[in-house]
Amino acid sequence: MKNFDIENIRADFPILKREVNGKPLVYLDNGATTQKPKQVIDAIVNYYTQMNSNVHRGVHYLSQISTDAFEVTRRKAQALINAAYDHEIIITKGTTEAINIVATCYGRMFIEKNDEIIISAMEHHSNIVPWQMLCEERGCKLRVIPMNEQGELDQQAYKSMFSDRTKLVSVTYVSNALGTINPIKEMIDVAHQYEVPVFVDGAQAIQHIAVDVQELDVDFFAFSGHKMYGPTGVGVLYGKERLLNAMPPYQGGGDMIKDVTFEKTTYNDLPFKFEAGTPNIEAGICLGDAIDYINAIGLAEIQAYEEELLNYAVVRLSEVEDIRFIGTASHKSSVISFVVGDIHPYDIGVILDKLGVAVRTGHHCAQPVMEQFGIPGTVRVSLAMYNTKEEVDILTAALKRAVDMLR
């Protein structure tokens, strides 16, 4: 980890210097959203003070430099995931919108009554509900890959699910509730044996793991800016060119058209066909700065540091009496979910907050996961590259104190 300097990294994040309830902030809710480095914050200020203008529309200087900066981000996202073409990169509001675009546009074009869509038992609600809505509309069926007690998908069951009615697989790369890293490449290869396209929800992977969509041969891939140290309200949908070209637009409006008459509208080329209306320009531009920040450190360096930190945290938290880890897969990334005895996770979270430690409690938008484990929710610790072993020590001490108070 020669390029990884934790003190310099932490110095880039102004919010980490603040106190909460009179205690130094220990922020461990990165699975929900990450904090922003000053490089991204400065870029946001620079946009509004130096280039604020609409994109893809104006001939004047501000519009041109805003458009250029917006398109630079598209190329940075292309490079980040090694897409073949920049027009395969659709700028969205985030992963949820990306899933809805594919469910709506691909689903309505290619999925019919009694067809089947495969998802998994560990999906976030955003990778369940859009497919349920499509099933209700089209009369198709949802099939769910089962999960074992370690929080790993049953690959044999997955392989047995395919038939001539299978039209799409949509699965998460990394579980937001469990931290499980799924064997995505192998799952894609299985689906492609049946000529079934695969959508991968990469929202919990992109900030932790290097992604190469061409090596994976994935058909659709999505991620969100706010989970990778960038602004909220922006994300990326990658799709193979031939699939995106075959799909109808998601919304109608400005920028997604070539010509409009009252008789007929001719749709724009990729990527603009799927980018109706004025986008979140500031966030789109500054997502590029977040990508630059990650690249400057290096995803290999980040992953190695976070794996070491995750292992340390599991060892330290194991000291807590009656702790039960939810999700003990052999291949995990940056998430530790747990319950302690019969104490409600919410109560633990409230006391940890009083001690300056921010964690997430509840079902994490993954209620079927909680149902399988027979619990109402968990305490979730989600790590980022700016977290430290010292913060894990503070968490462990705070958790022990909280448990003592609640027994």
Can you tell me the distance from the alpha carbon of 338 to that of 218, in angstroms, rounded to the nearest whole number? 32
In the block, residue with structure tokens 């914050």: 41
Using DSSP's 3-state secondary structure scheme, residue 48 falls into helix
Beta bridge partners of 238: 89, 221
List active site positions.
365
Cis peptide before 271 (omega within 30 of 0): yes
Angle at 295 between CA 294 and CA 300, to 5 degrees: 85
d(CA 368, CA 120): 10
**224 - beta bridge partners?**
235
Tell me how many helices (H) and strands (E) the chain has.
Answer: 15, 17
- The CA dihedral of 290, 296, 297, 299, to the nearest 10 degrees, is 70
Q: Which residues contact 368 (CB under 8 A, 6 or more apart)?
A: 121, 123, 128
Q: Count of CB atoms within 10 A of residue 404's CB? A: 10
User: What does the alpha-carbon distance between residue 52 and residue 49 come to, in Å, rounded to a whole number?
Assistant: 7
Amino acid at site 372: Q
Distance of CA 223 to the CA centre of its chain: 5
DSSP codes joined into one string, 341-377: TTB-HHHHHHHHHHTTEE-EEE-TT-HHHHHHHT-S-
